Structure 1
Amino acid sequence: MKKFTISMSLALSVSLGLSAAACSSGTNTTTTNIASANKPAAHTSAANTVAVTNSAETKPADETPASVKAVFPDAQSFTKQHKDIPKDAIADIEKDSGAKVPDTDHHSYLAFSTTGGARKQIGAATVVTAGGKEMVVVYDNKNGSPIIKEVRADGVPAPFLAQFAGKSHDDKFTFGSTIKANGVDEAAAKAITSAITVDVMTMQALYGAAHSH
């Protein structure tokens, strides 16, 4: 009877030991599988990083006014130029024009076309504000100096604006002599004339070829 009891005890102990081992082994396997399932694939992080980087990249905003774009319908792109006007040039412009230079930072817009495969400049323009109106002054080049090709503005009579065509800094045009009101309020016409005079002189100072008068 004692032998049987001892044998049963040994058998029970061995059985429990095997069960414990089996349970322990099963727990480790489950933990490993969960860890593997939760571990992200190596390339996932890189892909997410690229996506974030690409989404953060933005193109620079186009600062060209719609009024300037309308002047150059054949242009595919524009470049906005910022140039500081030298102090001595400002003094000369204000002395010769009798008007104030509105800002030391002058802006102009260059129009480019890619027709035919080559990128080439097809024009330049500035935006001038005076007399409650905004004018687009379109420039051409003559003997290395900027010359006004045309002036456009909404709500300003065409006969008045047409007087500026062909004018350069050498013409020293003034209201009342070279430029007439032609249907524009006199105060506004005078302000517009002064502003365009300052602009064409500024364009010469910044971009014109040096020459003697």
Structure 2
Amino acid sequence: MSADAVLVAVAVVFALTVLAIAVIGIGTLCWVGLQLLTLPGVVVHEFAHKQACDLVGVPVIEVAYFRFGDPPGYVRHAHPDQYRKSFVISVAPFLVNTVVSFAAFFALAVLVTAVVGNHVSVDLLAGLETASSEMLVLAVVLGWLGLSVGIQAFPSTGDANTLWVRSRSEWRRSPIVLLGVPVVLVIYVANLLSWLWADVFYALALGVTAFYAVSVLPI
């Protein structure tokens, strides 16, 4: 990719950003941008809920994999007749999003290693100059997927509320449900720490782990 092409692309993006701010306002623009940033993660999160419902045999009433609203996605399903089904449906996004995010970061690490080798800090700029535009676009997409999907890995407070209500109502009849209480507490804490960007740090940790795995594996 030539320097002129990069300058033109930057100028176009800057002009469109200024135009968008003038038309819809910076607050709305930031909100739309955040929604688009998290789009892949929301889709994977709700897909995991939907597949978990199908896996345990709980009928799904309505699905919105993504929308511009609050919440940005949801899965409405029938009330599970067993606690274990509620547990599987609630925690499925954490497992699925974590795997998908790690896979995207792993692919990105493989791509970067193929371009610049293992000495990223030394050869990164030189590698970017020689990389094709298609490879740069692929790297950006993989990074976006890894970050977005990883950020959306934590189950929602609604998922924790569902498990907590069932734990309180069923523990006398089936004490084994108490094993799910620590998971409920972890979900609550994780959502609370999201105000401190814990979800972002989790996604970045997956990226660091993926890059480390590529650096030590004989790829």
TM-score surpassing 0.5?
no
TM-score normalised by structure 1 residue count: 0.23
Higher helix share: 2
Higher strand share: 1
TM-score normalised by structure 2 residue count: 0.22
Q: Which has the larger radius of gyration?
A: 1
Higher relative contact order (CA 8 A, sep 6+): 2
